[in-house]
């Protein structure tokens, strides 16, 4: 939140007219019940009362950015804002993918399955979400397109096949010899309450020690809820088009995994000595 405010203050101080906020589909959900969304869009109605910190911070920031659209700048122009809601981002340098890679290496090159195979989502390649920011920034300078864009939010997706989070990890690395566990460590309901128990233990230990569970109820719900969206409105309003096709995105990410996997193996081996 402080970073967002600093950036916006810089816009007003330096007469920067255009501001694109990187938001997240987590602004929408999933909710605690795990109600699914399939091929949702900007008009989809969804009941969500949970207050997960990351999602709430994104929601508040996105609303604030939208409210500042049209505010006057010192040079007499006005601020133009919009928000891009991104799904899970994969690609070279992904800290999440790196963490799962470490776990798989420690598990004999087998990814631990945290999400059901049928919990389909549509992740996006890092190059495509970056390209979307450039495309909308250019469109915001167009006198006609800016009328449709300003103050709005957009879902941004690409042609990555819909699959679960765990299956994405496997798909990106299977040609390098990695595998994946066939099912969750335990039935989903039991998995949820197990993660709740870990949260309770973490809370009780807080006065004495810092214990951060590897999983929590939010994560279990997030990765096991079918949650996918369409970028039709972005294509219509500002001509969004993914720069990278799935096969190229997969190849680039797999090449990165091939480079870092031996380094991670060596690091993890030395760490246990």
Contact between 74 and 59 (Cβ < 8 Å): no
Per-residue tokens: 13: 């101080």
Alpha-carbon distance of 141 to 143, in angstroms, equals 6
| Parallel, antiparallel or unpaired: strands 153-155 and 37-40 | unpaired
Supply the residues annotated as catalytic: 54
Closest CA to 85 of 7, 153, 8: 153
CB atoms within 10 A of CB 166: 22
Strand intervals (E) in the chain? 18-24, 37-40, 80-86, 89-90, 110-111, 124-125, 153-155, 179-180, 227-229
HSE value, Cβ hemisphere, 13 Å, CA-based, for 192: 12
Residue 240, classed as helix, strand or coil, is coil
Taken as a whole, the chain contains a residue count of 273
Q: CA torsion angle for 39, 134, 9, 74 (degrees, to 10)? A: -120
Alpha-carbon distance of 86 to 80, in angstroms, equals 20
Tell me which residue has tokens 């799935």. Answer: 246
Contact between 125 and 91 (Cβ < 8 Å): yes
Alpha-carbon distance of 232 to 246, in angstroms, equals 18
């Amino acid at each position: 939140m402080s970073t967002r405010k600093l950036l916006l203050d810089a816009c007003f101080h330096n007469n920067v007219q255009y501001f694109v906020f990187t938001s997240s589909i987590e602004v929408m959900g999933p909710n605690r019940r795990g109600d699914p969304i399939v091929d949702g869009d900007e008009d989809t109605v969804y009941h969500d009362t949970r207050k997960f910190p990351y999602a709430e911070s994104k929601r508040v920031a996105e609303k604030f950015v939208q409210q500042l659209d049209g505010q006057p700048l010192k040079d007499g122009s006005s601020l133009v804002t919009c928000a891009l809601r991104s799904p899970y981002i994969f690609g070279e340098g992904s800290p999440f993918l790196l963490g799962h890679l470490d776990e798989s290496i420690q598990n004999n090159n087998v990814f631990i399955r945290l999400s059901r195979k049928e919990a389909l989502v549509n992740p996006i390649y890092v190059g495509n979400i970056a390209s979307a920011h450039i495309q909308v920034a250019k469109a915001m300078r167009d006198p006609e397109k800016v009328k449709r864009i300003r103050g709005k939010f957009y879902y941004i997706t690409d042609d990555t096949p819909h699959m679960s989070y765990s299956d994405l990890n496997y798909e990106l690395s299977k040609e390098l010899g990695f595998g994946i566990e066939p099912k969750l460590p335990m039935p989903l309901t039991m998995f949820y309450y197990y993660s709740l128990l870990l949260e309770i233990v973490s809370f009780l230990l807080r006065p004495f020690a810092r214990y951060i569970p590897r999983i929590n109820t939010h994560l279990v719900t997030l990765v096991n809820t079918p949650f996918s969206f369409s970028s039709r409105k972005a294509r219509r309003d500002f001509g969004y088009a993914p720069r990278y096709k799935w096969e190229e995105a997969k190849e680039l990410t797999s090449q990165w995994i091939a480079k870092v996997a031996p380094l991670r193996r060596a690091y993890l081996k030395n760490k246990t000595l």
